[in-house]
Amino acid sequence: MAAIPALNPLKIPTTTNGETFEGFKRGYDHDHDHDQPLSPMARLFHEPGSNVYIVGIIGLKTKIKPDIFKHNLVHTLLRNPRFSSLQGKDKETGSMKWIPTHVNIDDHVIIAKLDPNMESSEKFVEDFISNLSRSPIESTKPLWDLHILDIKTSETEGTCVFRFHHSLGDGMSLMNLLLACASKASDPEAMLPGNTKKSGATKVSSLWSRLSVLWNSFVALVMFVSTALFLEDTKTPMKGSIGERDTEYTNIPENIRLRSTLFFNLRPTTEIEDVTDTSKHGTWGNKIGYALYSFKIGLKKDPLDYVRDAKAVMDRKKASLEPLFTYFFVNLILKLFGIKVAGKLNYKVFYNTTLWFSNVPGPQEKIWLFGHEVAYIAPSCYGQPNALMIHVVSYMDKLTFVLSADEETIPNPHQLSHDLQESLRIIKASLY
């Protein structure tokens, strides 16, 4: 059996002479995205309470060569119009739109300054990312950047920290973007093959299955609307929110309502597409829905019962239209009542739950990124109204759990990481 997955905490609470890029001169068609409005989901990620950034931490076993990264980013990442466009407001309509712009790669690739008196390289990397999450990306340039930490750790020769505003895309589109820029370790000249695996859409093959889907969807609809209107999780030490983090919890009720917001990919496939082909947009953007997962608080004699219960609930979630409903419902509210109302509704659902949970499938074999061997991939987010997010990503035969925790609510995320890791060990031991 594979080793226990790593559990890495991330603490959260943002012109020079470089190579430039201009879409029209590089020869690709900007007309498709020129002055086009942002999608409804992209606009939502600019609303208060949902202004979220994705952080992609990539450990490299090869010493980082910044010039190689810059050169390759110009010819890969910047050929996708989302990464070479500003997000500005239309003066007539007030809506946000993509505006192609000149990009100076040196404005986006930053070499981190190292502290000569650092306690340890691992702690420096952790603190650097935590500090980075406290600031936004300036809207005067495309909303992404790359920070290079030329520092050796126990696992790596250097660390890259990609930062994207969530309006550019969701975890699946950005993972596919990474894979489209990467090559196989077994053949550095060959691109990774496209993953044509279906995304897990609900299959309805019998009357009973159809009734089950309808019932599960109805229950999910009731819970979603109730949560958006009034149904809030129980106040616990883990349910932190702005303005309430100094609350003392002395009498926590026995019947605790503790829920997670789960995010689902709504694409029919997860096929990797050419980043330079602007006629294909299947993997780009934000095509995600979400579902609400209720935890059952209590001690069980058999540790595997936790796994069985979780699987049973997730099977019901998959046999429902809940993720599709949330996606289309938010879009419907936006069209009928505008972005502000949709944003408040979205925020209310997140605010009334306790944590976020997300996962992204990564490469199944070892990869190289611009000639640098990848040791690990660890994505996460910041800007969400919840004090805790758990993100899971696979790479080869290993799972990595990344904890994004607010320090004021969870002052010792390393202890939480240790506790979760110990729980996994107990579950594993019970198999024998």
| pLDDT above 70 for 131 | yes
Q: Which helix (H) or strand (E) holds 124?
A: helix 121-132
Q: Which CATH number belongs to the domain containing residue 353 in this structure? A: 3.30.559.10
φ and ψ of 262, to 5 deg: -100, 140
Least confident stretch, 59-63, 141-145, 184-188:
184-188
Residue 81, classified by CB atoms within 10 Å of its CB into exposed (0-12), middle (13-18) or buried (19+), is buried
Sign of CA dihedral 300, 304, 306, 309: negative
The answer to whether the beta carbons of residues 339 and 237 sit under 8 Å apart is no
What pLDDT is stored for residue 120 in this prediction? 93
**pLDDT (tens digit, 9 = 90+) per residue, 15-74?**
233 443 333 233 333 444 456 888 888 899 999 888 999 999 999 999 999 999 999 999
| pLDDT above 80 for 269 | no
Looking at every residue in the chain, the average pLDDT score rounds to: 82
The answer to whether the beta carbons of residues 129 and 402 sit under 8 Å apart is no
Could you give the 3-state DSSP secondary structure of residue 176?
helix
Please choose, from the candidates 129, 389, 420, 143, the residue with its C-alpha nearest in 3D space to the C-alpha of residue 263: 389
Length of the chain: 432
Residue 5: pLDDT band with limits 50, 70, 90: very low
| pLDDT above 90 for 280 | no
| pLDDT above 80 for 308 | yes
| pLDDT above 70 for 200 | no
- Bridge partners of 53, per DSSP, are 165, 382
Residue 230: pLDDT band with limits 50, 70, 90: very high
- Active site (annotated) includes residue 166: yes
The answer to whether the beta carbons of residues 295 and 310 sit under 8 Å apart is no
The alpha carbon of residue 4 and the mean position of all alpha carbons in its chain are separated, in whole angstroms, by 22
CB contact set of 45 (below 8 Å; sequence gap of 6+) = 51, 52, 165, 166, 167, 286
| pLDDT above 90 for 90 | no
What pLDDT is stored for residue 237 in this prediction? 83
Task: Name the more confident of 36 and 409.
Answer: 409
The answer to whether the beta carbons of residues 326 and 334 sit under 8 Å apart is no
How far, in Å, CA of 380 to CA of 389, rounded? 8
Least confident stretch, 143-157, 170-184, 300-314:
170-184
DSSP classification of residue 200: -
Instruction: Count up the domains in the chain and report the number.
Output: 1
Q: What is the pTM of this model?
A: 0.85
CA distances from 328 to 21, 72, 259, 267, 335 (A): 36, 37, 22, 14, 11
What pLDDT is stored for residue 23 in this prediction? 35
What pLDDT is stored for residue 418 in this prediction? 93
Q: Which helix (H) or strand (E) holds 307?
A: helix 304-318
Phi-psi region of 36 (alpha: psi -120 to 50; beta: other; left: phi over 0): beta
Q: What residues make up the domain containing 108?
A: 1-432
**pLDDT (tens digit, 9 = 90+) per residue, 103-128?**
999 999 999 999 888 989 999 999 99
| pLDDT above 90 for 403 | yes
Residue 179: pLDDT band with limits 50, 70, 90: confident
Task: Name the more confident of 429 and 191.
Answer: 429
| pLDDT above 80 for 142 | yes
Share of the chain above pLDDT 70, in %: 80
Among candidate residues 147, 166, 372, 391, the one labeled active-site is 166
Report the pLDDT averaged over residues 276-291. 68
What pLDDT is stored for residue 408 in this prediction? 86
**pLDDT (tens digit, 9 = 90+) per residue, 336-393?**
999 999 999 999 999 999 999 999 989 988 999 999 999 999 999 999 999 999 999 9
- Helical H segments across 133-256, by residue range: 171-181, 207-229
What pLDDT is stored for residue 18 in this prediction? 40
| pLDDT above 60 for 294 | yes
Residue 31's Cβ-side half-sphere holds a number of Cα atoms within 13 Å equal to: 2
